[in-house]
Amino acid sequence: MPYPVRLVDARTGRPLDIDSLDGTLVVIDYEHHKVHEGDHFMFSYIEADFDIADALALLLTVKDKAIHLNYDCITSKDTTMTLYEGTTHTELADIGITVNNNRVNPKPNTMRVTTRNVDGSDGTAIWQTYFGLGATPASIGSTPSRSEVELILRPNTKYLLKVVSGTDNSYVSIHLYWYAEELHD
């Protein structure tokens, strides 16, 4: 069936893909596009013995572009996560694993994730969530993040992500996902 409009990429002259079933333009979401451009990053960290006395504090140092941040966190017991903006703590050491999704043509990382020295203030709490459903291993909780709760972090700003366990003998698995964008007026 011919379509009434033919869409062509002005740069290459190639026709754009049209779905043969319903005639719609074939597109991918923007976050997926950033993966293809080599501008999308993932961070993962697992703490296998997370106790009440433990507080995992991740220092997020945003470079010169705005960061679009999503997360997910899985824990075996009740846990609180708080994000602070404008922390004055300094970087201590690398933690977890940070990787660019595009393993073929990756671009430089746009946000550094480290532990922090306890040498400054936490900053202003801008977001908090609670997950985990109780004190038994069967009460595993998760807070998946979707674009509706995406946080856009300011360029050249430091953030502190604190994760605190409400019980002993828990585990926590934290994943951060981000891409960078230039700010436009």
- Per-domain residue ranges of the chain: 41-181
Mean pLDDT across the stretch 115-135? 86
Question: What is the torsional sign of CA 169, 48, 55, 42?
Answer: negative
Q: What is the value of pTM for the model shown?
A: 0.81
How far is Cα 84 from Cα 123, in angstroms, rounded to an integer?
Answer: 5
**Helix (H), strand (E) at residue 32:** helix 30-37
Name every residue whose Cβ is closer than 8 Å to that of residue 50 and which is 6 or more positions away in sequence. 56, 75, 79, 165, 169, 170, 171, 172
pLDDT band with cut points at 50, 70 and 90 for residue 99: very high
Quick one: what percent of the chain has pLDDT higher than 90?
42
CB-based burial of residue 29 (10 Å sphere; 0-12 exposed, 13-18 middle, 19+ buried)? exposed
Token pair belonging to 102: 């595009």
Q: What pLDDT was estimated at residue 143?
A: 53
Specify the DSSP class assigned to residue 123.
Answer: -
pLDDT at 44: 95
pLDDT over 50 (residue 139): no
Please determine, for residue 4, whether its predicted confidence score (pLDDT) is greater than 90: no
Least confident of 42-51, 69-78, 118-127, 135-144: 135-144
Among 2.60.120.380, 1.10.287.110, 3.40.50.10540, 3.20.20.70, what is the CATH number of 41-181?
Answer: 2.60.120.380
Instruction: Determine the pLDDT at residue 133.
Output: 62
Q: Which amino acid is at 159?
A: Y
127-149: b (≥16 Cβ within 10 Å) or e? eeeebbeeeeeeebbebebeeee
